[in-house]
Amino acid sequence: MSEALDVVGIGNAIVDVISTEDHEFIEAHGLVKGAMTLIDDERAETLYGAMAPAIETSGGSAANTVAGVASFGGQVGYIGKVRGDQLGEVFAHDIGALGVRFEVAPAAAGPPTARCLIIVTPDAARTMNTYLGASTELHPDDIDPDLVGAAQVLYCEGYIWDVDITKEAIRKAISICSAAGGTISFTLSDSFCVERHHQEWLDLVDGPIDLLFGNEHEICTLYETGDDFEAAVAAVQGRCQVAALTRSERGSVLVTPTEIIEVPAAPAAEVVDTTGAGDLYASGFLYGWTRGMDLAQCGRLGSLAATETISQFGARPSGSLAHLIA
């Protein structure tokens, strides 16, 4: 049996390729600004060739979150699939160096390791174009029952729901963690994801999910309330233990069956790159949750971690986040 872990994340194992471009680049290449768009290998090669010199680092939403929890000092694991190629080695090295347990065997054949081409514009918005590659090859057999059963919290990334076999893997992990008495958390990831999986995710929130993460656009999309955030809050209240809903500079709102807690944003001296803000908010929240902090403290730690990451380039903390606990 594995030693106890605070959080185990499951998601698309992706290498982020991040460059800064002007707004004309977005228009010239027909990109959907601010969204995550799935692309094929040919489109990935074309965009990569057009991008300015880039930073390459291991990424993926849930991987960023568990890396953040590890940076706070938590004990974490990660489940995702890479190919046994150069980018697969980059991913495994980066996440392992952060103290994350990553033991899924790389694929020996099939598509290459996934990559996300992230365009950051001068307004700090990030436009993501993702080639899923080997990450779509995560199978139920890749789920280690001992690892998942040892988790206080299982953190599931919505992006990975796009492929049936990975969906089966998530459902297996949820079943194992639930049976072991763990907490199930899920992030909505992207409004387009919510639209693609609308009814399934409504059922998940009403079912096994204890902690739900999402931003205001995603929760409004889930409950089809247009731009009416308050209506979405009312719709989700009581459907899970906590819904942690982020609102950028307006902070976050924590919704429980009996109360609504508003948490202010932590001020940022400068916004450099919003990539990973939601991922790191979840890191802070989950670290606080696994340490028994009250919800307001969990939300505050999430806000501080999000501000830390938007003040730098890239989706991972450049240094330890442990200083934020004070």
Secondary structure (DSSP) of 25-75: HHHHTT--TTSEEE--HHHHHHHHHHSPS-EEEEE-HHHHHHHHHHHHT--
How large is the average pLDDT for residues 156-180? 94
- What percentage of the chain exceeds 90 in pLDDT? 77
Q: What is the mean pLDDT of the chain?
A: 92
Cα separation, 55 vs 313, in Å, equals 9
Closest to 314 in 3D by CA, of 94, 87, 26: 94
Q: What is the mean pLDDT of residues 6-16?
A: 95
Predicted pLDDT at 40: 94
Measured between alpha carbons, how far is 42 from 249 in angstroms, rounded to an integer? 37
**pLDDT value, residue 126:** 84
The arithmetic mean of pLDDT across residues 105-111, rounded, is: 95
Residue 23, classed as helix, strand or coil, is helix
Query: What's the pLDDT at 140?
Result: 97
Report pLDDT digits (tens) over 17-27.
889 999 999 99
Tell me the pLDDT band of 35, cut-offs 50, 70 and 90: confident
Task: Give pLDDT, residue 321.
Answer: 85
Category of 15 on φ-ψ map: left (φ > 0), alpha (ψ -120 to 50) or beta:
beta
- Over 70: is that where the pLDDT of 275 sits? no
Per-residue pLDDT at 284 exceeds 80: yes
Query: Which range (168-172, 225-229, 321-325) has the least confidence?
Result: 321-325
| Residue 184, pLDDT score | 98
Burial of 312 (0-12, 13-18, 19+ CB in 10 A): middle
Question: Is 135:80 a contact under the CB 8 Å cutoff?
Answer: yes
Confidence of residue 129 (pLDDT cuts 50, 70, 90): very high
